[in-house]
Amino acid sequence: MTTVYLSDTPQDLEKAAALLRQGETVAFPTETVYGLGADARSEAAVARIFAAKGRPQDNPLIVHIACAEDLLPLVKNVSAAARVLMETYWPGPLTLIFERSDVIPAAVSGGLDTLAVRLPAHPVARELIRLCGFPVAAPSANRSGSPSPTAAAHVAQDLDGRVAAIVDGGTCGVGVESTVVDMTGEVPRVLRPGGVTVEMLREAVGEVEVDDAVVHRLAEGAKAASPGMKYKHYAPRARVVLLRGDAASCADYIRAHAEEGTGALCFDGEEQGLPVPTMTYGRREDAAAQAERVFAALREADDRGFSVLYVSCPSTDGVGLAVYNRLLRAAAFEVIELA
Ligand code: TXA
Ligand code: MG
């Protein structure tokens, strides 16, 4: 298929909405990453998302709505805590999981009886969903397993010829995907950390649990609360290795291990003296900058043809937990502890 390239003007958003109404797939910007949308009510439309991405059928999609009132027909049992989170952090980078009603086909949820719903803050995303007049299922707009796209060019790299259209709305401000919180149990449970931090969730509703799989490898044969967590993820072609230590110990390690094809991804201001080609992703203490830049840096590692990429390990405070969670998976959990 020939992919149509659209801008975010009203005329082009109307064209994008028309394609979605016809059951086609359209990539569009959100404040987190680009999403690949399709009509969430249509099994045939949603099947096109799975096909375009090469996504396993059991990995459920997030359904995007344009205003909070649109939630109710889609789900059952919205708890008091869920209402507080919606009032506090919607629109924004927060996805909540509820019991699914019959409005949305089971295929959207990968066969689960729950449904993940998000109200994005990005004006282009909201306007597009509003124009459609129906909920839009949208995973990140990358080929399954590769880093999430934070610019329209990343989407084109992965999905040109595989989707009906790509709407260019500039780069994504948050840079990592939304926080996913399961609201179906007694206590809200974070399945994927993101732009709304664990600290922010606790501030709004008190007790919040963080699923073990956020920072640990799932035990062999264990069932993933979030099916997406069990797949190799966010990985460039290079072997990614996380180095946990200060600037000097990271540099020492890289000097001792550098070979042909080695690259480094370190913090701004810590690149001096590294004997390999180096990219940076924000200052050591600036988790928001790291989130915004991490996926583009992993893609750049591929563009530059690195075979090994040593990455300075971020802190797990605030949105840093989301950056760490993505990098751990990109590194297939390979972390080297330095002094
Ligand atoms: O920021 C975002 O959330 C972006 C933008 C486009 O909105 N979307 C996104 O979707 O990251 P995706 O499909 O790449 O990631 C969705 C994650 C997966 O890990 C999936 O397994 C999990 O959410 N998920 C979705 N529905 C779920 C459910 N019902 N139960 C448990 N996990 C669910
Ligand atoms: Mg994804």
34 vs 154: CA distance, rounded Å: 9
DSSP β-bridge partners for residue 264? 278, 310
Strand-strand pairing, 262-266 and 278-280: parallel
177 CA to middle of ligand 1, Å?
8
Whether residue 60 has its Cβ less than 6 Å from ligand 1: yes
148 CA to middle of ligand 2, Å?
6
Atom 6 of ligand 1, nearest CA residue: 35
- Rounded to 10°, the helix 10-21/123-132 angle is 50
pLDDT in tens, the chain (339 residues): 999 999 999 999 999 999 999 999 999 999 999 999 999 999 999 999 999 999 999 999 999 999 999 999 999 999 999 999 999 999 999 999 999 999 999 999 999 999 999 999 999 999 999 999 999 999 999 999 999 999 999 999 999 999 999 999 999 999 999 999 999 999 999 999 999 999 999 999 999 999 999 999 887 777 788 777 666 678 889 999 999 999 999 999 999 999 999 999 999 999 988 999 999 999 999 999 999 999 999 999 999 999 999 999 999 999 999 999 999 999 999 999 997
280 vs 137: CA distance, rounded Å: 33
User: What's the pLDDT score for residue 168?
Assistant: 98
The pTM score is: 0.97
User: What's the pLDDT score for residue 219?
Assistant: 79
- Please calculate the CA angle 28-29-35 and round it to the nearest 5 degrees: 60
276-281 — which CB contacts under 8 Å span 24+ positions?
A: 276/310, 277/304, 277/306
Whether residue 32 has its Cβ less than 6 Å from ligand 1: yes
31 vs 291: CA distance, rounded Å: 12
Tokens (6 digits) for 148: 């999430």
User: What's the pLDDT score for residue 289?
Assistant: 98
Asked if 56 contacts 29 with a C-beta cutoff of 8 angstroms, the reply is: no
Q: For residue 55, which atom of ligand 1 is closest to its CA?
A: 13
Tokens (6 digits) for 294: 């991490």
Whether residue 254 has its Cβ less than 6 Å from ligand 1: no
Nearest ligand to the CA atom of 190: 1
Contacts of 158 (CB under 8 A, 6+ apart): 141, 142, 143, 146, 149
Q: For residue 148, which atom of ligand 1 is closest to its CA?
A: 14
Q: What are phi and psi of 310, to 5 degrees?
A: -90, 125
User: What's the pLDDT score for residue 220?
Assistant: 75
User: What's the pLDDT score for residue 230?
Assistant: 67
